[in-house]
Amino acid sequence: MNKECWSIWDARVYFEDDPEKSKIRPVVVLGEDTYYCMSLSVTSKSKDRFYAYKLVDWEKAGLDRESYVKLEQFEIDHNDFTYFIGNLQNIDIVGLQDALLYKYR
């Protein structure tokens, strides 16, 4: 199944400090190529607004709790996606784009 921009999936995310370890967690897809998808992690905890965007319509996106999208992009192999959750709502697409533009300007 194609991973469309702004879709949310459960995926196996490997730890940066220990690539042997991983965790299944929600991610937002930003784009894809033949082998990888550029993604952002979703978390239920965030203490720093500069590094995460708080979702407004997290329930409509298919998530089961209040969530934040971390603003650090990373690649995920297509084989590491496990389950489609939903899609970001327009208010969160615009808000996340603004947060990314602000962080990387």
Q: Are 72 and 51 in contact (CB under 8 A)?
A: yes
What's the CATH class of domain 7-103? mainly beta
* Among 69, 71, 12, residue whose Cα is nearest residue 43: 69
Q: What would the pLDDT profile of 5-55 be if each residue is shown by its tens digit? A: 999 999 999 988 998 999 999 999 999 888 899 999 999 987 676 689 999
Q: Where are the domains of the chain?
A: 7-103
pTM: 0.91
